[in-house]
Structure 1
Amino acid sequence: MDSRKYLKNEMNQTKEGDYMSTVIAQKWGNSLGIRIPKEAAERLDISQGSEIELYVTANEITLKPKKLRKKYTLEELLSQVSPENRHEEIDFGIEGRELI
């Protein structure tokens, strides 16, 4: 089946944007939880454990996947140091009873 035809069949267009499906809020401990359909999770590249930001405005809830910041290794950071972006040594003087 043509993927464009499949997406058109699976998604209803609304004036606000793409509508994936209707989900039902269910009790989860003292809170409510919803399930994210597989197609929506794949489209947004979220999986179990992904952090999602929840915004509440007026009578609307918006969910957005939290953008993860890359964690750099020390080697990656040091590889970016060059004579052009390195500052000169700064002398802060002696304060207190340091032995330096």
Structure 2
Amino acid sequence: MTQVTICKWGNSSAIKLPKAAMNELSLANGDTVDLTVSNGQVILEKARLQLAPPLPEMIAEMDRLGWENEPGSVDWGPDAGSERISDRD
């Protein structure tokens, strides 16, 4: 166990993580961590990479915004080159 001191940082509070803890968690300055408070304990875990929100969250956000906020279509001009798509097939 290592004791650390809580310091004031703007309107928040902060702690310094010892180098050994940073190394054990494979953390670097600027990384994001998940903080959980459970049964009087603070738990820090390296954040898992999340490329996009889960589908149910995206659908819920679309429902929240409503159809009137749907982005319009973009006219990119006539087809040309290998991206040409035939509507006759």
Q: How many residues align?
A: 52
- Quick one: distance in 2 between partners of 1:69 and 1:27? 30
- Quick one: distance in 1 between partners of 2:9 and 2:48? 26
Q: Which of 32, 39, 60 matches 1:51? A: 32
Runs ≥4 residues deviating over 3 A: none
- Quick one: distance in 2 between partners of 1:62 and 1:36? 13
Q: Mind listing any 5+ residue stretches in structure 1 that lack a counterpart?
A: 1-18, 71-99
Q: Give 1:36 shift.
A: 0.5
- Quick one: distance in 2 between partners of 1:39 and 1:58? 25
TM-score by length of 1: 0.47
- Quick one: distance in 2 between partners of 1:28 and 1:51? 17
TM-score by length of 2: 0.52
* Amino acid across the alignment from 2:40: N
RMSD (CA atoms): 1.8
Aligned sequence identity (%): 31
- Looking at both structures, which has the greater relative contact order when contacts are Cα pairs under 8 Å and sequence separation is at least 6? 2
- Quick one: distance in 1 between partners of 2:12 and 2:39? 20
